[in-house]
Amino acid sequence: MTDPFVRVLDFETTGLDPAAADVIEVGWCDVTQNGEITAPRFMLIHTNRPIEIEAMATHHILPHDLIGAANREHWKPTLAAGGPIAFIAHNARFEASFWPDAPAPWICTYKAALRLFPQAPRHTNAVLRYFLQFDSNPAFDRLKAMPPHRAAPDAYVTAHIFTRMLILENGRLERMGAWTHEPGLLPRILFGKHRGLRWRDVPPDYLKSIGRQADMDEDVRFTAAQELSRRRTPPTNPPEPGNRSS
């Protein structure tokens, strides 16, 4: 019987819509209970669908790269092999949309990063790599992280993000799993006249107006609602003696 482990995944696809696109590359590496990261691996996957230009501009996989690639029915059993207790992905919503019947729960390192590293300038895989200074860590192999936007290197970077989070969470997955099922809690407002401000510094009327806009991004609406709730909630600690109002 093998020890429990999680599998970190990254997919490259022909497009963004899972109803009209195929997975054409999967990359993965495992993280063991003691935080060891296995070497990243990848599989190219054959498709009859065209690769959208925007997708090619991101991952640079061309149709001729898929000649002789694995059949599409092979990648799911390969990624499920060994029985990982969870699948980890950066913006797991995307990977999960291409694998809705995955045999283990998803954990999203992007949503966890919003909460655990709110001071990061952005929360993409690549920005977190440099914000967390992985390249100065001898355990981080820069060659395995190259080239960006390919499945195996991106999975490798995400594995390092995840292990840093695991340290902060004392080895527990529960909160990261719960955050995955909620909209993202944004550290700063990213649009409009209050762009760049922390949400705690945004006027309440503006927060309320966000909640009334049904077409607003769900992460923005969720964050505005959470901030309004925080302001309505009284402090849990009683005031110190001598600081009470008379």
| CATH code of 33's domain | 3.30.420.10
Strands 86-89 and 106-108: parallel
Residues 166 and 205 in one domain: no
- 103 and 204 belong to one structural domain: no
The pLDDT, as a whole number, for residue 3 is 80
pLDDT tens digit sequence for 18-60: 999 999 999 999 999 889 999 999 999 999 999 999 999 999 9
Say if residue 215's pLDDT is above 60: yes
Band of pLDDT at residue 214, cut at 50, 70 and 90: confident
Nearest in space to 199 (alpha carbons), one of 236, 228, 238, 167: 228
Chain Cα centroid distance, residue 232: 30
Confidence of residue 233 (pLDDT cuts 50, 70, 90): confident
Q: What mean pLDDT do residues 93-100 have?
A: 98
Residue 234 pLDDT > 90, yes or no? no
For residues 27 and 103, membership in a common domain is answered with yes
Check whether 238 has a pLDDT greater than 90.
no
Q: 227 in a domain, yes or no?
A: yes
**177-194 mean pLDDT:** 94
Q: Is residue 186 part of a domain?
A: no
Distance CA 178, CA 244 (A): 37
Question: Would you say residue 245 lies in a domain?
Answer: no
pLDDT the model gives residue 184: 96
d(C-alpha 228, C-alpha 200), whole Å: 9
Place of tokens 């497009």: 15
Residue 243 lies in a domain: no
The pLDDT of residue 154 = 98
Q: Quick check: is 65 in a domain? A: yes
pLDDT class of 243 with cuts at 50, 70, 90: very low
Is 79 within a domain? yes
Domain count across the chain: 2
In a domain, 240, yes or no: no
Q: Are residues 155 and 47 in the same domain?
A: yes
Residues 100 and 60 in one domain: yes
pLDDT mean across residues, the chain? 93
Question: pLDDT > 70: what percent of the chain?
Answer: 94
The answer as to whether 237 is a domain residue is no
Range of the domain at 200: 192-232
* Residue scoring higher pLDDT (212 or 239): 212
